[in-house]
Amino acid sequence: MVAAHERLAAIARLLQPILIESLALRADKICDELAERWGMVAWDRERLIGQIQRQLFSLREQRFGRPGGAAVRILERRQQPLECLEPVWRYLRKGRRVVLEWEPGCSVEVVALMQSMASLIGETNLQLAGALTGAEPKDGHLGPARVGVASAPARVALLQEDGDRELAAYVLVRACLRRTGFDPRCVHRVVVVGSLERLERNLRRLWVGAAMGPSDDDLAFAGPVTEAEAERFLSSERRWRLRPGARVLCSGGRLEHTSCTRQRPAFLAPALIRVAEDPESPSPEPLEGPLLLIHPVADADAGTLLLDRLAPSGTLRLRIGESPRGLQPQRGDRQFHGALLAERLPPGLPEPRP
């Protein structure tokens, strides 16, 4: 007699092509929702859906050994749309029942997709528990253990002395201004070792030249924000601009635009500020929206000390330059080194200078 875990794993494996096809069929509706709710422009929507599709295709080729194990609980996070799909199906492929919850205001299309899959695989195997009504449960609460989706950690960038300044500028514009600065994985600080002139010249050009447009504009780099997000950004930018020793390279503000929606009525001009800061001094001011702080340091040792303070445990680091010998990066850290590939740049950014 086939065990329940083995039967669930077999059914999940057979239904995975249907999940992939259903995601493709809903792609247009999902794109419309990503544009309206999160202000994501065309290239960013395509990137996100393509990334999830690649994860599911990769999962299709994996083998998981003997099925079995306790049920698990997975959360779809509002600011990280679609990220529950891969872990939900991965645990079903392992023969483990899944309880899916979601934060208020999360993607309606993702919930609808999971409802259709629950009707096929069985609602006892994929249980949709509904939106969270209170605080997120802690480890040890009654019921299945929480296994995802993890909240996206904060990120801080380090430009090493050997890092290419033009490459760094393009990495930072994408890392800071995507979703007009409210992506949960945005970078709002960069520690710079060595010379500043070429980096700041390239950053100014990108900060002024990045095209902010409506979400349905195929040539826009970033889209509109809500009025609440705009106010948070303007308040944050004002506080940092007034800090002692701060030098404003690009002033933040509102942009006038003929295209807007009730849900996302504001367009923002991004801010770029150089901060002279004592590594020991606290920085209580929040960082919100399309705001990048430049922290110059004299040498690599000072850069490491400041990076350690700005990026404590749990904060991911983006390093630009050759990977230092003996460095043990934590999972999720990124190292950028090499040539700038103009053909891989998203639309809406000025072309690299020859």
The domain made up of 4-148 is a member of CATH 3.40.605.10: yes
- Predicted confidence at residue 135, as pLDDT, reads 58
C-alpha to C-alpha distance for 197 and 308, rounded to whole angstroms? 25
Fold observed for domain 155-344: Aldehyde Dehydrogenase; Chain A, domain 2 (3.40.309)
Q: What are the residue boundaries of the structural domains of the chain, listed by start?
A: 4-148, 155-344
Dihedrals phi, psi of 289, to nearest 5 degrees: 75, -160
pLDDT value at residue 1: 43
Cis peptide bond prior to 149, omega within 30° of 0: yes
The Cα–Cα gap between 330 and 316 comes to 8
Query: What's the pLDDT score for residue 272?
Result: 98
Within 13 Å and on the Cβ side, how many CA atoms surround 227? Answer: 5
Closest CA to 265 of 220, 215, 217, 219: 215
Would you state the pLDDT for residue 324? 80
Cα distances (Å, whole numbers) of residue 148 to 8, 15, 87, 284? 20, 22, 7, 29
Cβ atoms of 24 and 52 closer than 8 Å = no
DSSP designation for 266: B
Low-confidence ranges of the chain (pLDDT < 70): 1-2, 133-142, 277-284, 326, 354
Q: For position 222, what pLDDT does the model report?
A: 96
Helix (H) or strand (E) holding 131: strand 126-131
Query: What pLDDT is recorded for position 333?
Result: 84
Q: b/e string for 155-175 if b means 16 or more Cβ within 10 A?
A: bbbbbbeebbbbbbbbbbbbb
- CA 113/CA 275 separation, integer angstroms: 46
